[in-house]
Structure 1
């Protein structure tokens, strides 16, 4: 599946990719009201990835329900909606609206700044993670996956808090805070000064965190972070991941997901693997 924020809601990529081939389409973050995002420039390449400070720009839940869900319903794939907000109330109102729709799953982006508590991300405090997870579970019958920030001291404590709160799965990792400076202009490369680092640079960190969390919780983990090849996918599966999300690689190669799906099928045939459960979590 695509990682949220790298695939829109599938409209742009549907010209290149048969969405029916994907396990799910994970949408860009959806908020209660329209978000303008951060000022430009807000994307910058690095030698092994990219930094983005888009700021979760989106038209809000009303437009999403009216425009994007009907489009995604045309395809034989699961619909996973990434939910963002700046307060608990924001999250709950979006979740409540989506609970009345045909979407299959909600991915809760708790890397958002909690404006009610000084701007620290919801996902950086275990008690807040457990609280917001439990509050969301009270109002929806949809399965939820809590998308965790890697910008914490101990990722397993955050994952355990989400599990205790009732999460059905964990999505990780989100981007890592990074920075670039233009030495000629003597200015920050993105107007926000810092942004989220993604791409191949973060894969070893993502893999380590996925492995740790898979051994810390009993719920499924959707692994992401720098995945671009079949070998990357296999590493995450062998570390214990149940699902795989591909993000930044979509920008370099819009065909990357169907290509990997095909390669994975061939790999399984060549190695007499009936189901990926045979190799899932084999490293210890």
Structure 2
């Protein structure tokens, strides 16, 4: 009997049962997808919880979501009940024995990020993603992500407060994403999440007003896939030099997309807006990826990572 390819992966010291990671903001605090009939936690390696700040936030005023050609604009504004509430009331209800859950930390200052890290350090989450590149809040967020020095300061502020792996989410809007990657690695990050959404907007032509109340929002979905692949390619050399893994993301809706991301250097695969297209896509995607690996005579997903041949 032929042995199936190994789809488990090692990421920042963690062993994930599959390379698929559900991205922050797309499955709430991890409870939303469990209500979908046919869902199987064995299909995913980890779930990243909704972006969380130190204090509760109401988020932005509506409209906050708008469908675009091959994508979606969102400006939710980090609506959340605060880190302490998440740890005390939400995490105890999640099926932590079935898959891993990662926090997504946000703040308006490096010190606030550090305090969020401290709260999540004493919790069942197995890693903390650092959101330094959120394009739909008016303070923090994208300001940190576009400034390599500020990005490094955030990582430095969090590092003493947790022993859990830190995974820094990089902005595609940065002038030099490779420079930002290098600085956050030197500051102590254990992994990179590449990329966050692009900044975009939409216009109501009848009223001549922005559709999104925040004016701009984060653009995600298949339309950003070519940008994501390029940014991962730019980041890969820096990450590989320091043995830092990349969680690649941006418009993945099928196995072909995921395979492209693996080839350019994604040690794990982030699934986000694609879940709105098909909430049960993960099982299908894994089956098709396994078939591809068998056809190419590769023993594991990891054997495919970073195998891009350039002229």
TM-score by length of 1: 0.95
Q: CA RMSD in A?
A: 1.6
Counterpart in the other structure of 1:84: 106
1:173 shift after superposition: 0.5
Q: CA separation of 1:94/1:129 partners in 2, compared to 1, >3 Å: closer, same or farther?
A: same
Q: 2:147 aligns with which of 125, 129, 135?
A: 125
1:226 shift after superposition: 0.6
Q: Distance in 1 between matches of 2:85 and 2:41?
A: 21
Does residue 151 of the first structure (1) align with residue 176 of the second (2)?
Answer: no
Does residue 281 of the first structure (1) align with residue 301 of the second (2)?
Answer: no
Counterpart in the other structure of 2:28: 8
Give 5+ residue unaligned stretches, structure 1.
none
Does residue 254 of the first structure (1) align with residue 279 of the second (2)?
Answer: yes
Counterpart in the other structure of 1:224: 249
Does residue 271 of the first structure (1) align with residue 296 of the second (2)?
Answer: yes
Q: Distance in 1 between matches of 2:282 and 2:270?
A: 9
Q: Is the 8 A contact 2:156 2:187 kept in 1?
A: yes
1:83-111 per-residue CA deviation (whole Å, 9 max, x = no partner) reads 11111121111110111112100000001
Q: Distance in 1 between matches of 2:118 and 2:233?
A: 32
Counterpart in the other structure of 1:32: 54
Q: 1:237 aligns with which of 262, 271, 281?
A: 262
1:62 shift after superposition: 2.2
Q: CA separation of 1:124/1:78 partners in 2, compared to 1, >3 Å: closer, same or farther?
A: same
1:162-206 per-residue CA deviation (whole Å, 9 max, x = no partner) reads 111011000010010001101122211111111111001110000
Does residue 107 of the first structure (1) align with residue 132 of the second (2)?
Answer: no
Q: Distance in 1 between matches of 2:305 and 2:219?
A: 27
SS of aligned partner of 2:291: helix
Give 5+ residue unaligned stretches, structure 2.
1-20
Count residues with an aligned counterpart: 282
TM-score by length of 2: 0.87
Which consecutive segments of 4 or more residues in structure 1 shift more than 4 A? 112-116
Report matched runs for 1:191-202 at 5 Å.
191-202=213-224
